[in-house]
Structure 1
Amino acid sequence: MSTSEDKYEWINMEVEEIEDLVVELKDEGYSTSEIGNLLRDKYAVPDVREVTGKKISSILEENDAEPKIPEDLRNLVIKAKKLREHQDKNPNDKSSKRGLQITESKIHQLAKYYKNKGKIPSEWKYKPEEADLLISE
């Protein structure tokens, strides 16, 4: 049976270096998925989890660098914001109105899940008028 060292012998970085790079990239403003893509494309680290034994989010959590709002929830808020802007310009677009309803429903469901898991504060509420503040965090 091969170990991860045998499997990824071309990687010229130690586990600690990869973890430091993950935190450094997060400090530069990259999201967890962007960090994974950068490590794969630029640093030839195909799978952070297999090489280090930890997920990118776990590495960030250990170093107190995790985002205030999980990435999937943040992406839904961005999508809802864009749909609201489209609705303002095109008030008769019924399909985008329905899309906005579905997206905001997903936001509420995901927020409930993350509240139960303790990833976001229990008093956190999605407010469309404050979406810019949520996105900038």
Structure 2
Amino acid sequence: MASELTPYLHVRDARAAIEWYVDVLGAEVVYAPIEMPDGRIGHVELAVDGARWMMSDEFPQLHAEAPRGDRGLPVTLHLTVPDVDGLCARVTAAGTTLDRGPEDAPPAGRVASFRDPFGHRWFLNQP
């Protein structure tokens, strides 16, 4: 069996994040949300063209906290997509500002980056 590394994101509002990732990134929910007794989402899984990640609401008591806007991020999510420009158009139409691009960056290809409304940084790549 091969090893696998899957990002696990924590956000302040998982329901809003699910909606944003589905509407803007074109994600699909591949594992339905598990609602905790207090109403928070304890686990959900999403994917864009098979690129999967897990997510939950914040659980500070478990050291699972969303990014804070007052500092940089230690992790960037790299997502390979077939159309960087098209996805950037949807991201900006949703009110999110791009940090970079879209631009050609040989030898990587067409690239762009942004921080989503939930604080996570995404780097888009179209080889």
Q: TM-score, normalised by structure 2?
A: 0.29
Q: Larger % of strand: which?
A: 2
Q: Larger % of helix: which?
A: 1
Q: TM-score, normalised by structure 1?
A: 0.27
Instruction: Report which of the two structures shows the higher radius of gyration computed on alpha carbons.
Output: 1
